[in-house]
């Protein structure tokens, strides 16, 4: 197998690295403290093509492969996971879902503006009693002939307050089970659509997470994606691709923490020498580096599967499961390497540790990934 990145992929990786250092790093601690959405940075990411990386150029996208997207996610996440999750949702969930399953009219109306960053989107599946279990939707979309009447609540929605376009999963016919679910395109400003308060989160505090309330919202029938009853399949396929983006985010968080820990260990002195010369620290760095490399190969493999039209349900779930655990373990160790300074915001590792935890939760918890993996391997 050839693990060499192409010249184009290396250029994209470097561009993302430069952007993260020059545009995301300044003010990242302040944005985290204030839960400030990175408005200016998101605008610049749109101008660089980061918000529609895999979208066909005919719809304003960059037309790149999944691996290029993963490389970008990794570099952004090393510095600011709040910014990278915005990129992840807009690319993996919203743009990909619209381009893959939307009709031409929907693509022209919404996809181009999303891919160029003129607007951003949100994916609305989770509810108070239905996280990754799409079959337990309480949100309903009653078919009224030429439109649906949407009622319900969605929770923990990334880009919830700043998005302009929302892909909402809702139950149309409960008796049909998963075949009675639809996905509707809802626009901000539709009558009866209310955005709840911003969540005060442990990590990724700069991202915009809200609950959404739908009270008799009239959604035109032409805003349904796919045939009647297609919503469950849409959600499952979209989440499968989303796991690759979150795995890349976890990888980036881990790599960022490792780089900070390594650099600190080479500078900080104790007992007459740099702490990197003490085996207690050197062994930590060795373990961190090994685990990150293993996670990187798994994430790249999942991206490669997707790019080569190979079923990536298994590889994506394994990559997310492992990379998110590596992110958690590595950031904890990075704080330990820093000692007391690791508990101080100015050294960044405490923020990366807080950010790492969410990678084990969204796009399906670690337990959900194990269900996906076990079902896949036991099917053979």
Residues acting as catalytic residues: 363
Task: Tell me the angle at which helices 231-267 and 313-338 cross, rounded to the nearest 10 degrees.
Answer: 30
| DSSP-based three-state secondary structure for 210 | strand
Distance CA 141, CA 218 (A): 9
Long-range CB pairs of 72-75, under 8 A, 24+ apart, other chains included: 72/12, 72/13, 72/16, 73/245, 73/248, 73/249, 73/251, 73/252, 74/16, 74/248, 74/249, 74/251, 74/252, 74/255, 74/296, 74/299, 75/13, 75/16, 75/17, 75/19, 75/20, 75/252
Q: Tell which residue, 266, 247, 251, has the closest CA to residue 352.
A: 251
Place of tokens 């003129």: 118
Query: Is residue 148 within 8 Å of 221, Cβ to Cβ?
Result: yes
Q: Pseudo-torsion of CA 99, 102, 108, 113, nearest 10°? A: -60
| 220 dihedral zone (left: phi>0; alpha: psi -120 to 50; beta) | beta
Our CA angle for 95, 97, 102, nearest 5°, is: 100
Residue 62 phi/psi, 5-degree rounding, is: -90, -15
| DSSP-based three-state secondary structure for 63 | coil
């Amino acid at each position: 197998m050839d693990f060499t990145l192409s010249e184009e992929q290396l250029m994209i990786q470097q561009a993302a690295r430069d952007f993260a250092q020059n545009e995301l790093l300044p003010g990242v601690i302040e944005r985290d403290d204030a839960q400030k959405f990175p408005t200016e940075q998101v605008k610049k990411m749109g101008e660089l093509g980061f918000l529609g990386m895999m979208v066909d150029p005919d719809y304003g996208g960059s037309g790149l492969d999944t691996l290029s997207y993963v490389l970008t996610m990794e570099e952004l996440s090393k510095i600011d996971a709040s910014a990278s999750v915005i990129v992840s949702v807009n690319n993996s969930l919203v743009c990909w879902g619209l381009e893959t399953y939307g009709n031409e009219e929907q693509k022209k109306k919404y996809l181009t503006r999303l891919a160029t960053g003129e607007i951003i989107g949100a994916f609305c599946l989770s509810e108070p009693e239905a996280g990754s279990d799409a079959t337990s939707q309480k949100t309903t979309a009653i078919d009224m002939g030429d439109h649906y009447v949407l009622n319900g609540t969605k929770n923990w929605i990334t880009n919830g307050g700043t998005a302009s376009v929302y892909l909402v999963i809702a139950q149309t016919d409960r008796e049909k089970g998963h075949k009675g679910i639809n996905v509707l395109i809802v626009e901000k400003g539709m009558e009866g659509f209310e955005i709840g308060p911003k969540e005060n989160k442990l990590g990724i505090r700069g991202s915009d997470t809200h609950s959404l309330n739908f009270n008799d919202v009239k959604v035109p029938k032409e805003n349904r994606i796919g045939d009647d009853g297609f919503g469950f399949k849409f959600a499952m396929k979209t989440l499968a691709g989303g796991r690759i983006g979150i795995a890349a985010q976890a990888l980036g968080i881990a790599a960022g923490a490792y780089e900070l820990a390594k650099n600190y260990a080479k500078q900080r002195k104790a007992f007459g020498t740099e702490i990197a010369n003490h085996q207690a620290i050197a062994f930590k760095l060795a373990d961190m580096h090994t685990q990150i490399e293993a996670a990187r190969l798994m994430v790249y493999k999942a991206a490669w599967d997707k790019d080569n039209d190979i079923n990536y349900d298994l590889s994506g779930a394994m990559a997310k499961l492992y990379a998110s655990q590596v992110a958690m373990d590595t950031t904890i160790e990075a704080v330990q390497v820093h000692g007391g300074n690791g508990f101080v915001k100015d050294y960044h590792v405490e923020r990366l540790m807080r950010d790492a935890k969410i990678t084990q939760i969204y796009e399906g918890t670690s337990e959900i990934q194990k269900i996906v993996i076990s079902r896949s391997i036991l099917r053979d």
